[in-house]
Amino acid sequence: MAGQQEQQQQQEWRLMVGLDGSPHAQKAFERALALAVASGSGRPVVLHLLTVIEPGRFVEREAQHLHAATKAGAAAEASDAHVVHDAHHLLAPFEEQCRQANVRYVSVVAEGLSAKQEICRQVEDYRIDLLLLGTRGLGTLTKLLLGSVSDHCTQHATSDVMVVR
């Protein structure tokens, strides 16, 4: 039974799209969905919808909850719950579009200190065939110091990578 399941997974075409709420990520999703739909009755497709929770990404929201709460522990738990809720809320419209297009999907909310490293880890863990990311124009200094997510993933992901404009 396990061998049959592994063989089926090897036959699937696994796509992953990184989603962060940006217009560029929306375009990457649209391309991923189009590829999934275009595959037709050939190789089965599974589209992985990935968003990464980074500690600094929700600082403003966390500060609001810390200020409103009376105990630091309760505030941290409330903040964590809101961050995870926001991440699932971000994925909801993409899940709906997959359902409408009759495309199989898996939603992944990952937590990591670095989105670019976490994306590469998820690509490896899920044995993704193609990663789709939006491109964003970071300032030259920021890009020099931090590097962009898409640049990092094109160099380090274990799958093919498509950067969508």
pLDDT in tens, 78-103: 567 788 899 999 999 999 999 999 99
Which pTM value belongs to this model?
Answer: 0.79
- Residue 69 falls within a domain, yes or no? no
Residue 36 lies in a domain: yes
8-state DSSP, 148: -
Q: Over range 109-123, report the average pLDDT.
A: 95
Query: What does the alpha-carbon distance between residue 133 and residue 122 come to, in Å, rounded to a whole number?
Result: 14
Q: Residue 150 belongs to what domain range?
A: 2-57+97-164
Strand partners, 160: 130
Count of domains observed in the chain? 1
Answer yes or no: is 68 within a domain. Answer: no
Inside any domain, residue 92? no
CATH number of the domain within which 46 lies: 3.40.50.620
